[in-house]
């Protein structure tokens, strides 16, 4: 079995997306743990848009992979 980084968590996540607060959250950010909807979840990286692009806007999506992410700490 291959380890999949992104797993839909429809059963364990309830409530609204913590980014837009208008759609039902279906994913959990692997970095900050925020529950987010598919629109605000970077499935390639398994993180919410805030973690994927801290300097971006809330509506940013599908940011092309560029430079490596700077060290988190
Ligand atoms: Zn959202
Ligand atoms: Zn996050």
How confident is the model over 20-59, as pLDDT tens digits? 999 999 999 999 999 999 999 999 999 999 999 867 655 5
CA angle 59, 28, 64 (to 5 degrees): 45
Looking at all shown ligands, the one closest to residue 15's CA atom is: 1
Residue 41, strand partner residues: 48
Is residue 62 very low, low, confident or very high in pLDDT (cuts 50, 70, 90)?
low
Cα(70) to centroid(ligand 2), Å:
15
Q: For 5-31, how does the pLDDT look when each residue is reduced to its tens digit (9 = 90+)?
A: 665 654 554 799 999 999 999 999 999
pLDDT at 61 over 60: no
pLDDT at 23: 95
Cα(45) to centroid(ligand 2), Å:
10
Contact 6, 27 (CB under 8 A): yes
Which residues of the chain form beta strands (DSSP E)? 27-28, 35-36, 41-42, 47-48
- Which tokens belong to 69? 């992410």
Question: Ligand 1 is a single-atom ion; what residues have CB below 5 A from it?
Answer: 17, 19-20, 23, 37, 39-40
H or E stretch including 52?
Answer: helix 49-52
């Amino acid at each position: 079995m291959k380890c999949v980084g992104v797993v839909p968590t429809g059963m364990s996540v309830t409530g609204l997306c913590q980014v837009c607060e208008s759609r039902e959250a279906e994913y959990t950010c692997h970095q900050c743990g925020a529950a987010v909807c598919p629109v605000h979840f970077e499935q390639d990286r398994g993180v919410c848009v805030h973690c994927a692009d801290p300097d971006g806007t809330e509506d940013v999506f599908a940011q092309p992979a560029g430079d490596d992410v700077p060290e988190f700490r």
